[in-house]
Each structure stands twice: as structure tokens, then as C-alpha cells.
Amino acid sequence: MKQLFIQYAAYNLWANKILLDKLAIIPPEILFKETGSSFGTIYKTIVHLMNVESIWWQRMKLQEHVQLPGNETDTDFSEFSKKWLSISKEWSDWANEASENKMTFVFSYQNTRKEYFKQPVYEVLLHLFNHQTFHRGQIITLLRQNGIDKIPATDFIVFSRTKAFKGLKGK
């Protein structure tokens, strides 16, 4: 199980970087254009992605009151990207260091509706990485709808063909 989550966490970091590199060269009028999508704009969607990674990180670390690091009015894209990638890297580093026991540890947390739950870490990880993939796909669709056609592939299978992935197989 641990090997799977090492790969998922590394994939998440890789895919976020590829997406952010592409978004860094997209005109602001596209990033901030109202789209009618889940979060309204491409930028608000990536803020959501960063906030979700951070919220789950804080919950897993048993932080009682979680903070949202993303600020939708902060439009310094370079700083935003660094902040989000540092959170994604924390997940990757954690997966590399975590024992099987940490992956199966059951912890309690409160969701945004103030409801309490108990779940094993591995279920949260499955949710988190699946959630991120889903919304990256939405962003890619929004880019295509705005005439952006040179979008790098962020599929797991593409990641699995990289040197970075091949280096994970020995862990």
C-alpha cells in the first residue's frame, strides 16, 4: 500500500507542476474569466485545489482549526504556485517517510459543515488524489473551451513513463 501512495503523491506533485507551468503563461483574462464552472474561474479552481491539499494536511496533522492558505484576491501567480507546490511536496515527502501503520491510522476530523468523522489516512489519501485529478481535468476542459490547445498531458500513465516515476519503483 505504501508504494502506491508514494506514487500517487509524486504524481500529484508532478501533475500540479505541469498544470501550473502551463497556467503561468495563460493570459490573466482567461484565468479570471467567469466560466460557470464549479468555482467560477480557472484561478478560483486552482485556489480550491491548493486549499483542499492544505486542509487535509492540517486535518491529518490533527490541527483543530484549519486555515485556508489560498486567497482568491492574491494574484501573484508565481508566489501562489510556490505555495501550492510546497504543500504538494509535503504530501510526497510524508508518503515517502510514512510507515504502513501511519497509512492505516484512523483519525478524527471535522468537515466544513462542522460534522465529525473518523477515517483511516489511506482513505483520505485516495480521496485527496482523486479529487485533485478530477479538478485538474476540469481546468484542462476550461482551457480548451478558451482556445488553449497546447496542453501537456497530466495522466498518471504519462507520469509513469518518466524518470521520476521509475526512480520511485525502488523505494
Q: Which long-range contacts link 92-101 to residues 24+ away (Cβ below 8 Å)? A: 92/6, 92/9, 92/10, 92/12, 92/13, 94/9, 95/2, 95/5, 95/6, 95/8, 95/9, 95/10, 95/125, 96/6, 96/9, 96/171, 98/2, 98/5, 99/2, 100/1, 100/2
- pLDDT single digits (tens) 3-55: 999 999 999 999 999 999 999 999 999 999 999 888 999 999 999 999 999 99
- pLDDT single digits (tens) 87-125: 999 999 999 999 999 999 999 999 889 899 999 999 999
pTM given for the model:
0.92
pLDDT over threshold 70, residue 72:
no
Q: Which residues contact 90 (CB under 8 A, 6 or more apart)?
A: 57
Give the residues across from 118 on adjacent strands. Answer: 108
Q: Which fold has domain 2-168?
A: Four Helix Bundle (Hemerythrin (Met), subunit A) (1.20.120)
Q: Which residues contact 154 (CB under 8 A, 6 or more apart)?
A: 14, 15, 18, 19, 136, 140
C-alpha cell at 74: 492574491
The residues spanned by each domain of the chain are 2-168
